[in-house]
Amino acid sequence: MKTYNFRNAPLRVFGSPLFYKTGKLERMPEEVASVIHAPELAKRNPGARVCFRTNAPSFNVKMVLGSNRVDIGMAIFGAQSAAVIIGDRQNPYYAGLVGPSSYEELVIERQIYKKGANGDMEDVTIFLPRNEPVLDVEISVDDAYVVEEPTPYRDIKPIVYYGSSITEGGCCTIPINAYNAIISNRLNIDYYNLGFSSSARGEDEVCDYIKDNFDMSIFVYDYDHNAPTNQHLEDTHERFFLRFREKHPDVPVIMMSRPWATYAPDDARRATIRKTYERAVERGDKNVYFIDGETFFKPEEAYLCLVDTVHPNDFGFHCMADRIQPVIEKILGL
């Protein structure tokens, strides 16, 4: 057997902003994470992917978690497991989960089998767990087979998403069903997920980290769920945008309000976000877009889309992707 570690070529890591600087699967340096409500969330890995190509009919995945804690809102499949897709990212097939069988298990090994086992070279994309720090990932294949670098994503700068637990992927059943993961696969565009459960509150330090460290094609932000009050949102939302614009005057920005069923609107927060958008347009900004969260779900289907009247389920995330993707395609000229 040949074993390949995720830290070394030919395996590639995507969606982990500090990995190629520090070797760690983390989303923020400690000095930035210290200002958010729950600093430990910076060690989570939503959106991080380990990718490669192989002609092996099956391969073993070993993953080591730094912790394994119960999440009252998500099953172990979505919170502590990695999801594997194989083939062209825009038309893949689902090959299964690499996840623990209990909350006591930190070292997980699973054999993944390719469809058809015909010996073709195919891309493998492993979406890492949402909730837990990942300390190690290894891939093993029989000596007779080859592992190569993955097919690159489309030659477009990554999309950066900043927001709440919804941005982070709560509460989909497996990692590939978060709306930003769906869009990434559909369009074959790399992305970074900076969703922080209950902890995205538009801090200046977080804005500085994003604007100073990411080279992006689009910036998407929607943290109104995490703002303690509408007054907090009013105090931070436009300030965050203007601070971002100091460094990125022309990067397209999508502002979104929270996804919500039409029977429970929150017009004040939505109006605050719309006001930031309208003022930008009045100043002549031609690269700003507003997506109303009230439009994510069809009225007759809204009751099917949410888990707890806050977090989308898989169908809700699918509806969000359907609404957001055309805006991204328009911006990028796809």
Asked if residue 172 lies in contact with residue 307, where contact means CB atoms within 8 angstroms, the answer is no
> Is the dihedral angle over the CA atoms 318, 321, 326, 329 positive or is it negative?
negative
The mean pLDDT value of the chain amounts to 96
Alpha-carbon distance of 206 to 226, in angstroms, equals: 14
| Residue 263: pLDDT over 60 | no
Comparing 6-10, 25-29, 49-53, 260-264, the range with the smallest average pLDDT is: 260-264
The set of residues, in sequence order, having a beta carbon less than 8 Å from that of 200 and lying 6+ positions away, is: 36, 162, 163, 164, 167, 194, 206, 223, 226
- Indicate whether 288 pLDDT > 70: yes
- What's the pLDDT score for residue 260? 80
pLDDT value at 103 more than 90: yes
Residue-level pLDDT at 191: 98
**Residue-wise pLDDT tens digits, 114-136:** 998 778 999 999 999 999 999 99
**In this model, does residue 262 exceed pLDDT 70?**
no
Please list the alpha-helical segments (H only) found in 214-263.
230-247
Q: What angle do CA 164, 169, 172 make, to 5 degrees?
A: 135
Query: Which tokens belong to 325?
Result: 């993707």
Amino acid at 214: F
Res 265 pLDDT > 70:
no
Question: Rounded to two decimals, what is the model's pTM?
Answer: 0.97
Looking from the CA of 289 toward its CB, the CA atoms found within 13 Å total 22
Kindly report, residue by residue over 232-249, the tens digit of the pLDDT: 999 999 999 999 999 999
Backbone angles phi, psi at 68, to 5 degrees: -155, 95
By DSSP bridging, strand 49-54 and strand 93-98 are unpaired
pLDDT bucket at 110, cuts 50 / 70 / 90: very high
* pLDDT of 141 higher than 60: yes
**Cβ neighbours around 247 below 10 Å, total:** 13
- In tens, the pLDDT along 31-88 reads 999 999 999 999 999 999 999 999 999 999 999 999 999 998 999 999 999 999 999 9
Q: Work out the burial of residue 333: count CB atoms within 10 Å of its CB; fewer than 13 is exposed, 13-18 middle, 19 or more buried.
A: exposed
Residue 116: per-residue pLDDT: 80
- What the block records as the tokens of 150 is 């993955």
Which among 240, 244, 211, 210 is positioned nearest to 223, based on CA atoms? 240
Long-range contacts of 238-244 (CB under 8 A, 24+ apart): 238/275, 238/276, 238/279, 239/202, 239/204, 240/202, 240/204, 240/207, 241/276, 241/280, 241/288, 243/204, 243/207, 243/208, 243/211, 244/207, 244/210, 244/211, 244/219
The torsion angles phi and psi of 143, rounded to 5 degrees, stand at -60, -25
Q: What is the pLDDT of residue 275?
A: 97
Look-up of token digits 């069988």: 101
Predicted confidence band of residue 28 (pLDDT cuts 50, 70, 90): very high
pLDDT level of residue 174 (50, 70, 90 thresholds)? very high
CA gap 275, 272 in Å, rounded: 5
